[in-house]
Structure 1
């Protein structure tokens, strides 16, 4: 596990202790302080002791905090994996897995023939806590009253609905903000950069905490919004999610998010060409290819002279194999932010409707990315993208081995074939609505993807 924190310069007096040289390093080119593994309190104090430089000390403190958060996440993941292995072992031994008597309400989550694991293996974070609170009420002798008020299924559904509503509100406000920004740009007016910054900061917080609802919204093709506004928000969501997978610190995620959002201002200025319901003429396409340069000039006019901003804006259409534009750069000559935005753009474009074509199902778009990913976006970024979005990305319609059809609503990074799904119809096509975590249901698996609308 590698974590990093941006640091403009390593203090001259900062000489890393011999016992930590294999764990901590400073990347001069990327201006990153990098730590391998989980930093202990003693290691933090030892590293703080080698310099009084404020920026350095803040970076060490940030690395320590991030490593502790990551440690907690890995502990949860190990607990979940242990629970899943236990289920598999019981099945091999032919032992029936029955929920404890006090957890009888959990049987409402699935059809009667399916057995449920103990409640502590349900991994819906806050939702799981609510289920445990519900069973505590039962333990306290309030079983009848608790059953009247709610079942674990209704609790799960309520929590997901609440999260979904909050995500919908935020997504709508963010897209509306994007539209306001781009309208002002077209009219030659300035926009409030601070509002954009605050929206991206909230997005980072949500994605860092594992909120998948905003990712589901970014996967939808909603034509009630303008293409430019929704694309800016969707690509920002996808890019930050990849950045989280690559363990970027918050300042790095903020930088990546801001560039993702503002990268195509040049296209907004060329909207009279882009939005035509036909294929572009060769001359038009050549003009559109100049949009990174137009974006760079526009940002300079706003007083944004950050070299990373300029570099990434100019490079986000470059490709690992040198087939991109405008500079036909290859490999390490392309900034990693640019590679992230490139794969995010490709996936967003493939899965959303455009004037001349319909969007592809998420799993089909993923297959296309897999075919060209490493050649176009590099191994590290492609691997992070697949890890975050899975073989069956959020929004994919699938058929289970039971004949039921479902939609993927969350992905387990380490188990891409075992996502969380929401059942849409039973084997006979009758509508149903239940949430299943396939990581906790080893007897269930995805049989095949299905076309949207055929479930």
Structure 2
């Protein structure tokens, strides 16, 4: 299966994954044959990318599990969450009162789903339902932050505080002019100074809200601070930064690094992990980095990997306690032939097997 931009789609290509509208309605089913007519229909619905079957997936049934890798939260929950962020941002821009009832409800839904799936690390969706970086990024940061909160054995109350602050951590960007926020090129020094004010704007919007904890609002203010004082806007250090903010700062950087933007390409998840580890004890809290690495897979579910035997495999499950030894399903033999028997191997128990490298970036982006 391959991810392509819609403008690269051509008639007779086979759809590799259900295509949905921005509101979650099914537009094309997996297996549908593309035509000029339905490509035009997808364009009218504003679909930016689709998945198509490629030669490798056509030649071997063993790739079927890749197509069915679930998001760590349900599709419907993700649609609602992105829509909630979009609506809150719109209300702020229009000067309306910020109603936190729906954000709180969707955060509770995310918490419930993550608690139910607490033992196996899943995959963050690589489909941006609203085709807007900020909304999808907000949801991913929320999911990542809550996952770390769960690892820290936070109470449900603390998970809610962390989750709502993470979901709205960038709300201050509503006060930054779009010409700066959406600029597809490097910012000038003056523009970057304006961007650096968004944590203050966000804190001012939420700090006195009657339905929000001050600790949640503090996430808006401090998510760009660094424990060595090198962050912004106030260059807070160490204990001056709330633990929630330290968690969200890690999640924010990880998701930003692994996202495709107009001005930069996404990096592999394991490369993003390396960046975060390199900043441990400097920019990020060392204990929280350790928990993050334990709970975010270096080899995400759906990754195609090369084993030390020369065989290729797809990662199907990741152990929370030891993510570098996941469960894999063999795809090809060492000489490149498709594996007919869908054999699953747990690298925790098959101690002579190791992952040499990730092969398929298409299946590892936005994890």
Matched, 1:265 2:171: yes
Are the counterparts in 2 of residues 175 and 225 from structure 1 also a CA contact under 8 Å? no
Cα distance change on mapping 1:280 and 1:395 into 2, 3 Å: farther
Select which of 150, 173, 197 maps to 1:244: 150
Deviation at 1:263, TM superposition (A): 1.4
2:200 aligned residue: 293
1:321-380 C-alpha deviation (Å, 9 max, x unpaired): 111111212111111111100000010000011120011011111111111122111111
Are the counterparts in 2 of residues 168 and 217 from structure 1 also a CA contact under 8 Å? no
Aligned ranges for residues 189-268 of structure 1 at < 5 Å?
Answer: 189-190=96-97, 192-210=99-117, 215-218=122-125, 220=126, 222=128, 225-268=131-174
Matched, 1:444 2:356: no
Q: More helix by proportion, 1 or 2?
A: 1
- Supply the distance in 1 between the matched residues of 2:212 and 2:79 (Cα, whole angstroms): 30
Q: How big is the alpha-carbon RMSD for the aligned residues of Structure 1 and Structure 2?
A: 3.2
- Supply the distance in 1 between the matched residues of 2:167 and 2:312 (Cα, whole angstroms): 35
1:60-113 C-alpha deviation (Å, 9 max, x unpaired): xxxxxxxxxxxxxxxxxxxxxxxxxxxxxxxxxxxxxxxxxxxxxxxxxxxxxx
Aligned ranges for residues 21-170 of structure 1 at < 5 Å?
Answer: 167-170=74-77
Matched, 1:320 2:227: yes
Matched, 1:330 2:231: no
Are the counterparts in 1 of residues 176 and 195 from structure 2 also a CA contact under 8 Å? yes
Give SS of 2:323's match.
coil
1:140-171 C-alpha deviation (Å, 9 max, x unpaired): xxxxxxxxxxxxxx9xx99x959669722322
1:263-308 C-alpha deviation (Å, 9 max, x unpaired): 1111133260211111111111000100011111222474456332
Are the counterparts in 1 of residues 311 and 331 from structure 2 also a CA contact under 8 Å? yes
1:31 aligned residue: none
Cα distance change on mapping 1:421 and 1:274 into 2, 3 Å: farther
Query: Scaled by the length of structure 2, what TM-score is found?
Result: 0.71
Matched, 1:388 2:295: yes
- Supply the distance in 2 between the matched residues of 1:175 and 1:383 (Cα, whole angstroms): 29
Higher relative contact order (CA 8 A, sep 6+): 2
Query: Scaled by the length of structure 1, what TM-score is found?
Result: 0.59
Larger radius of gyration: 1
1:368-422 C-alpha deviation (Å, 9 max, x unpaired): 1111122111111111111111443455442123433344343213323211335
Give SS of 2:281's match.
helix
Cα distance change on mapping 1:362 and 1:408 into 2, 3 Å: farther
Gaps of 5+ in 2: 1-60
Cα distance change on mapping 1:194 and 1:324 into 2, 3 Å: same
Deviation at 1:426, TM superposition (A): 4.8
Give SS of 1:376's match.
coil
2:48 aligned residue: none
